[in-house]
Amino acid sequence: MWEKLRSIWTIPDLRKKILFTLLILLITRILANIPVPLTHDETQALVNLFSSGGNQNLGQLLGLLDVFSGGSLQKFSIVALGVYPYITATIVMQLLQPIIPALENMMREGEAGRMRFNQITRIIAVPLAFLQALGQAAIFVKYNVLTNFGLFDATSWLPSLSILMALTAGTMIMVWLGELITENGIGNGISLIIFAGIVSNIPNLIGQGWNASVSGGSNSGGIVSIVTFGIIGLITIIGIVYMYMGQRRVPIEYPTKRMVGRGLLVGTAQRTYIPMQVNSAGMIPLIFAQSMLIFPAVLSQYLSTSKVGWLSGISTWVANYIANTTLWYYWAIYFILVVAFTYFYAYVVWQQQDIPTSLQKQGAHIPGYRPGETTRRHLNDILNRITLAGALFLGIVAVLPFFTTVGGNQLLSSAAILIAVGVVLDTVRQIEAQMVMRNYSGFLT
């Protein structure tokens, strides 16, 4: 292992990429500790909001938001929203792509089309970040964390607008830093920022779990709870890695010709395979599903104080029955969203690759299946079967926190574990590819 690490460090450009990635992640953690200015009383109210167990539903929601923001929400930093508004915008664009032909044609235009597509996504992320900041501010106003907030008050509209603009700008800065990592570093920048936030919050979560488990009993009960959680977490990680690395290898043959004797061409076939991943969507469905649930939950908290009766009634119903993390409805919706997004993302990626057309152009074929539509149907059938297994696995992993708690609290959600493991495996694969490309032995081999 040490020899592999030394090999990585001896490659100059790879070493620069890793150092650049670590530098950007360090900057994101510094930004996560720059708070929005609050008075002493407002700061104390913020501490009480996260430490109080009076509103369990709100506590679970804020805890979930805080985990994926790397603890920046609990500090109410300028990047308290994280990158989730941008992820929500990505979901919107992915859903609109099959519906709007212009967007689908844009993605087929190569690199220039993808750049325009990403630019539109970033533009959509700005108003979504502003709306989420407004919803988050409404929660804090309700619990006296923000006592001088009001966009339509002559005395408070300017500082209120400043807070919302700072939170919106913080999200876009995080998106920009993530794209810098993707372009100049190692790994997917947005995923790595989420990963850094999750990892940085692990010591705090373990401390909270320990305090919760020993508060009502002896230290031995707390130790048993922590050990039990550790065993469940280890089994979950092993299962995640096993499913993440699992693949179905579909054999294919490439026709080749070789010269024999005086100008005689003899046809042969070169065999290889298509590696179809069981979990081709990775951790993306978990991020998508979390975003789809977090956004309406935050928005409902804001609209629940509306003076319009029907609007506040709908918002209260959503907060109590749809976004309530203490009820099984929430986890059932979460499970369905994860399964649906797994299928959706797997098919989007599969359609973009268009492997059957590529095989037909190269003269390759799957033994026993004619090139073209027959091959396409065969590969789609395989994709359906393996994606079902991957989708159900992701859904089960996503709802594990509903059944396993420590001291009545969820320490680190299985979604966070899945995202962290997925990001690590993706990053290691990219390092592996970089080393193999430079004629070094692989990091994992």
Kindly report the CA angle at 109 between 108 and 114, in degrees rounded to 5? Answer: 85
Q: How many CB atoms lie within 10 A of CB 377?
A: 12
Average pLDDT of the segment spanning 344-356: 80
Confidence label for 54 from pLDDT (cuts 50, 70 and 90):
very low
Q: Classify 406 as helix, strand or coil.
A: strand
pLDDT single digits (tens) 271-291: 788 888 888 777 778 777 877
Output the six-digit token pair for 342: 């797994």
What are the structural domains of the chain?
A: 2-437 (1.10.3370.10)
Predicted pLDDT of residue 48: 78
Predicted pLDDT of residue 123: 92
Please name the residues in contact with 413: beta carbons below 8 A apart, sequence gap of 6 or more.
64, 67, 401
Least confident of 142-151, 247-256, 375-384, 410-419: 410-419
Predicted pLDDT of residue 209: 60
pTM exceeds cut of 0.75: no
pLDDT single digits (tens) 79-135: 888 888 888 888 788 778 778 888 878 877 777 888 888 899 999 999 999 988 888
DSSP string across 219-286: HHHHHHHHHHHHHHHHHHHHHHHHHHH-EEEEEEEEEEEEEETTTEEEEEEEEEEEEEETTTTTTHHH
Is the model's pLDDT at 78 over the cut of 50?
Answer: yes
In contact, 208 and 63? CB cutoff 8 Å: no
Kindly report the CA angle at 200 between 397 and 204, in degrees rounded to 5? Answer: 85
Average per-residue pLDDT for the chain: 77
Average pLDDT of the segment spanning 18-28: 91
CA–CA distance, 13 with 29 (Å, rounded to integer): 25
CA–CA distance, 176 with 191 (Å, rounded to integer): 13
Predicted pLDDT of residue 130: 92
CA–CA distance, 292 with 341 (Å, rounded to integer): 11
